[in-house]
Amino acid sequence: MRRAATTLLLLAATAAADRAVGRDGRIWKGAAAIAGETAAVARKKIPLAQLYLVEKDDGTLVYAPDFGARLRGYEYLANEHVRDAYVKLVRECNQVGDFSLARELLEQAERAGLSSREATRLKLRIEVAEKKNRDGVRSDRLRKEAAVHAAHFGELLVERAAKALDGGRDGPRLLREALRRVPDSAPAAALLERIAAKDFPIGDARTWLDWHLDVEATGARVGTGQEKAVVKARTQWRRDLHGVEAPPILLVTPVKDSYTVGRSLAYGRLACGVLAQLFATDTPVRKARHSLTVFLFESKKEYATTSGTGVQVEDPKFLEWTAGHYSPAEGVSRFFWHTDPDAERRIVGTCVHELTHHWLNEYNPRATNQHGPGLPGFWIVEGFATFMEEGIYDVESGEWDLFNPRSHCLDVLQALEPKQLIPWKALYALQQIGFRSLPAAQPQVVVLRWNLQPIGITPTRLFYEQAGATCQFLYHGENGKYRRALLDYVCSYYSGRVPQLEPKNAFGLEAEELGRKTMQFARAVARGWRPQ
């Protein structure tokens, strides 16, 4: 397993001035040479395209040669120019009394990376000048000058994009940023027409650029539209669907927004990659022969009322409170992208949870997929998916960590008393049929460490939390003592090996003892326990 880095800020060595910028805007003079995983100061000048450094909590500088690091390095160079221009114009606006424009330009400077200390100082200057001169004047000259600076910056990006395209690196990313700032630039449009795919099935050249960066960069490719799952869904769902393949996933969706599609695929692929590492074996009992089909809906309403396969939705009332759903009978995972500002964080858990179900059911090389709703131990199905959902995933670097100190299920458990829980013995013996029959009791009010207000926990939700917390303990607790047994238990359930689903046989622990250890682990994490 690879731990998610504690990376905070990028340090990009700039080619022009040979500088690196780090936390709090500090500037290091001189380039840096790579020595193993750390950086040592050296006199030798290293071009921007060869040096990207990341600063960790302990101040260590680590080599980070990824697209994101390069782009942020270029952005720093460009934003530095714009920031200085805006600061100069803010001061001029203060002098002529155009305080409204001064504040607008200050906001632009802050977006370009102006330090909070300098921004506070300028805000105070504006307030002081405004008190002295209540009759301020408008300055069309300064407003036009600001527009000229912005346009000039855009054209500089176009020039950089052209050079990068000739060199084969970072050109599309720089070109998209240039088009965002100067959308009517003829040179930028000409560059785009030069590189855009002529047979792209969705939209125009600018749309292709977004798809190239947001989707294809994740390892995906836009389908031909003739994939069997896509053709079938078009007849049973809607005609404007398209398919995007990113092994092992085939995403079928009407969504045109490339960022939404790209991020969904990126998180899905990373989750599948983590599972593949956890359950890797030299002696597979089966091989996957098809892609994992995922339906991404445009809205929650469409998701809750349409299966996408022509089959009637299992239970619309059930789906109304869920954000995703895997149907083993149809072999399809479904979810929708939220419209709120926190959409990406919310969709990560849903995507990982449902694809965990999907992958374990259809791709796990260590399980024969001979399970059914009558098996005991159903807790592992939702518990392991909840455990995976709560991991930390960084799609930019491909890094992940299955320990999350803010685990929701551990937080719920440490806030409850034993008498408030589903009895552990009953929980571990529950079948899928029994899970669906859990009573719709009044929610218990729980105060969590990471929430500003109390939340209500129903018996169904409590099943997820207790099952997920059990997986957290078995994977991380007691120095990973039960980790292998946990993964074996997953395979036992999905292979229908009933005797191995008894906690005593699987972990050497009676049900109540396993539950007690899980509670102790939840409270230890709340007190600050972390894996060594």
CA neighbours closer than 13 Å in the CB half-sphere of residue 5: 21
Cβ atoms of 21 and 61 within 8 Å: the answer is no
Cβ atoms of 108 and 142 within 8 Å: the answer is no
Sign for the CA dihedral angle at 34, 35, 39, 42 comes to negative
> Does the pLDDT value for residue 278 go beyond 90?
yes
**Residue 212 CB burial class (10 angstroms; 0-12, 13-18, ≥19):** buried
- Residue with more model confidence, 387 or 111: 387
Q: Which among 365, 363, 359, 369 has a CA at the least distance from the CA of 283?
A: 365
Length of the chain (residues):
532
What are all long-range contacts of 60-64, with beta carbons under 8 Å and residues at least 24 apart? 61/11, 61/32, 62/5, 62/7, 62/37, 62/38, 63/34, 63/37, 63/39, 64/7, 64/10, 64/397
Domains of the chain (ranges plus CATH)?
9-65 (no CATH), 71-195 (no CATH), 217-342 (3.40.30), 385-526 (no CATH)
What's the CA gap between 182 and 201, in Å, rounded? 26
Element (H, E) at 326: strand 324-327
- Quickly tell me which residue has 């408008």 as its tokens: 138
Encode burial over 322-349: b for 16+ CB neighbours within 10 A, e otherwise.
bbbbbbeebebbbbbbbeeeeeeeebbb
239-269 pLDDT, tens digit per residue, is 999 999 999 999 999 998 898 999 899 999 9
- Quickly tell me which residue has 């899980």 as its tokens: 518
- Quickly tell me which residue has 């952005």 as its tokens: 75
What's the CA gap between 221 and 246, in Å, rounded? 7
424-457 pLDDT, tens digit per residue, is 999 999 998 888 777 777 788 888 887 767 888 9
10-36 pLDDT, tens digit per residue, is 333 333 333 343 333 333 333 343 333
Highest mean pLDDT among 11-15, 179-183, 276-280: 276-280
What per-residue confidence (pLDDT) applies to 75? Answer: 57
H helices present in 196-306, as ranges: 205-214, 228-236, 258-278, 300-305
Classify strands 444-446 and 242-246 as parallel, antiparallel or unpaired. Answer: unpaired
